[in-house]
Structure 1
Amino acid sequence: MKTPMNVLLAFLMVAGFLNAATLLQRTDVVNVSNHATYTWKKTLEEGPWKKNYNFQMFSHRDTLWVFHPDGNWFSADGKDWQKSSLPNALNNLAFLDYVQFNQSILGLGHFEGNIERYVFRSEIYQTYDLKRWSTMALQSNLPKRFFYHPFVFQNKIWIIGGENSQTQFADIWNSGDGVYWQKAKDNLPFGKRSNSRIVTLRNKLYLLNNDVWSSTDGLNWKLETREIVKGKQIFGYEPVVLDNQIWLLGCNRNGQFSSQVLVSSDGRNWREHLAPWSPRGGIAACVHRGKIYMTGGKYGGQDISHPEFVYSNDLWTLEKQ
């Protein structure tokens, strides 16, 4: 029978082989509750995609996918990757997202340019074979905005908030096919906002910014906490759900990048740890075969010590021991 890691470390400390300082440096071993221990492992020093941030990773039909500005890659095990013939349809992935829906992947809109000068088209793309896109609509009534993250709930695609060049929004829309959209509700209680991240945990939606709101129907929302980290503004994280817990990867605080990870089972109470990967934001991550996979991200640009951005393409996994 294997000795639990926390028992082994305690024995080594008593025996004099480890001191407290050494133990605090073991950021690859994570105790997030009284019942489970998780371990970070580096799977690849460099992935085949270019170092970048704000792209996406999916587990789709038991295969890992990286949807990158320069194309798309797939792997069965996270170690051996092949580039797909499927191109990037959305163009600027910092502004729009792909979404998995009914055994397919949809591309919602097409964005060229930047926040100051851009062209947005409401085209809708779909792929089943992940080799080619079909155009579902050259024009749709998809809201003309960006900086939102679509999600699937109750067999529909939903979007909350977002912004355009004039304002942010406080509404929620949904669609049964990705082409025909309707506004489900406006003036939501959390107000105008963009870049909200939404996950589903135990059939409940959690909307994550610096605060957390929850909903069982997408229309009526309850405040869970005004601050995920008291007295801090967090940004740039990627949320995933593993073992009935929400994991926020890359929780940067007050304008400073970090390798912070926060974990919660209810959206109100959050536990934190430092991961062994370099500080970063704009991570791509997903859960695949019971593990968290993550890659990408950027770091720097904050002060004289890190004036330039550093981009990543290493690949890490988190799994339960």
Structure 2
Amino acid sequence: MDSLFRYLLITFLLPWVINSEQLSKYTDGLAPISKPDYKWTKKLEEGPWKKSYNFQMFSHRDTLWVFHPDGNWFSIDGRDWKKSTLPNVISNLAFLDYIQFNDTILGLGHFTGNIERYTLRPEIYQTQDLKHWNRIAGQSNLPRRFFYHPFVFQHKIWLIGGENSQTQFADIWNSPDGVHWQNVKDNLPFGKRSGSQIVTLRNKLYLLNNDVWSSEDGVNWKLETPEIAKGIQIFGYAAVVLDGQIWLLGCNRNGQFSSQVLISSDGRNWREQNAPWSPRGGIAACVHRGKIYMTGGKYGGQDIRHPDFDYSNDVWTLERKLRVKNTAK
């Protein structure tokens, strides 16, 4: 294989179509690949949506979507955005989430109010055309709780823990359609918790709070580490998977917002990477075309130096840089 063609193949084409674990079989016997590094790039100083936090970003059918309290926007490249006719139907996105499932997007429940006084309805919405919602259930047995992040695993939607105004939960539920829910297991070993981030890496689930637990079936769980960052309580981050690694973006550390990113390939061992964007938590992030995209978040409210919150709507990307070592003599 011509050396120039190999270089172009490895550097520009393969990262878009395969992940880092697959890359080795294509480069076996070729020039050694150095450890990949990454760069952050600001795509937009301000997105078209209002500065806010605790909303969502998806890559859906090769299009980027921002699901925001004020509506939904879409983009092919993360730079040029259009507002969709699709409204926000679940209302308070700080309490409930949308979820991608079977090439559609579902809205699980409808929440208005705040943690002290609220209305929570177990309505289920679905969109296939990303223009209109269909209410596929006015009443479902969706657990009456909030502050959980649903995820897809083994062709079902799952949820772990969460809370209501009285208590947190330590159970797990799943559903084949978002409407009919089954309690799979109670009294999970990690105990009551809410706000957990759950990702899938190499067909294994990772449940992330300040600690990390893993499961191959969603029912039986193993502790990977009691602390992601030793001696530091972290929370409020978004978790995504890129290149066979878990990335935690927008960590709050002991009550202080940060821009450092935490990265792990196994859930046990974590390393830190600095990021050029401002400290924040509650960001929206996803992986799109081999890059991490992120926007939103809030900063402040920590002490007398920052008594008020600052909100964001800038758009950033993280992409991989591959360097091929020339070993020819």
TM > 0.5 fold call: yes
Alignment match, 1:69: 69
- Determine the C-alpha separation between the residues in 1 that align with 2:110 and 2:297: 22
Supply the distance in 1 between the matched residues of 2:180 and 2:210 (Cα, whole angstroms). 31
Contact 1:43 1:316 in 2 (8 A): yes
Q: Is the 8 A contact 1:206 1:267 kept in 2?
A: yes
The equivalent of 2:257 in structure 1 is: 257
> How many angstroms does 1:260 deviate by?
1.4
Structure 1 segment 1-321 matched on structure 2, within 5 A: 35-321=35-321
Deviation of the 1:84 alpha carbon: 0.2
Distance in structure 1 (CA, Å) of the matches to 2:250 and 2:131: 31
Task: Return the alpha-carbon distance in structure 1 between the equivalents of residues 130 and 284 of structure 2.
Answer: 19
Deviation at 1:181, TM superposition (A): 0.2
Please give the alpha-carbon distance, in whole angstroms, between the structure 1 residues aligned to 2:157 and 2:185: 14
Q: What do the CA deviations read for 1:66-103 (whole angstroms, capped 9, x no partner)?
A: 00000000000111000000000110000000000000
Contact 1:156–1:177 (CA under 8 A) maintained in structure 2: yes
Per-residue deviation, 1:308: 0.5
For the residues of structure 1 that align with 2:245 and 2:34, how far apart are their CA atoms? 14
The 2-side partners of 1:63 and 1:148 are apart by 25
Q: 1:145-186: CA deviations, max 9, x gaps?
A: 000000000000000000001100000000000000000000
Give the conservation status (yes or no) of the 8 Å contact 1:252–1:260. Answer: no
Equivalent residue, structure 2, for 1:6? none
The question of whether the paired residues in 2 share the 8 Å contact of 1:161 and 1:168 is answered with: yes
The CA deviation string for residues 15-41 of structure 1, in whole angstroms up to 9 with x for no partner, is: xxxxxxxxxxxxxxxxxx961010000
Distance 1:289 1:124 in 2: 29
The alignment of Structure 1 onto Structure 2 pairs a total of residues equal to 290
* Residue matched to 1:16: none
C-alpha distance in 1 between matches for 2:70 and 2:250? 23
Aligned partners of 2:250 and 2:129: how far apart in 1? 32
Letter aligned with residue 112 of structure 1: T
Q: Distance in 2 between matches of 1:87 and 1:222?
A: 40
Alpha-carbon separation, structure 1, partners of 2:192 and 2:78: 38
Cα deviation, residue 236, structure 1: 1.0
Q: Percent identity?
A: 81
User: Are the equivalent residues in 2 in contact too, given 1:160–1:172 (CA < 8 A)?
Assistant: yes
Which amino acid in 1 is paired with 2:70? D
TM-score normalized with structure 2 length:
0.87
Unmatched segments (≥5 aa) in structure 1: 2-32
Which 4+ runs in 1 deviate beyond 3 A? none
**Amino acid of the residue matched to residue 47 of structure 1?**
G
Name which structure has the greater RCO, CA cutoff 8 Å, separation 6+: 2
Specify the code of the residue in structure 1 equivalent to 2:205. L
Structure 1: distance between partners of 2:40 and 2:88: 30
CA distance in 2, matches of 1:114, 1:84: 27
User: Match for 2:186: what amino acid?
Assistant: D
CA distance in 1, matches of 2:273, 2:240: 16
Could you tell me how far apart the structure 1 residues matched to 2:173 and 2:76 are? 34
The two structures, once aligned, show a CA RMSD in angstroms of: 1.0
- Between the aligned partners of 2:248 and 2:55, the Cα distance in structure 1 is 16
The 2-side partners of 1:318 and 1:286 are apart by 11
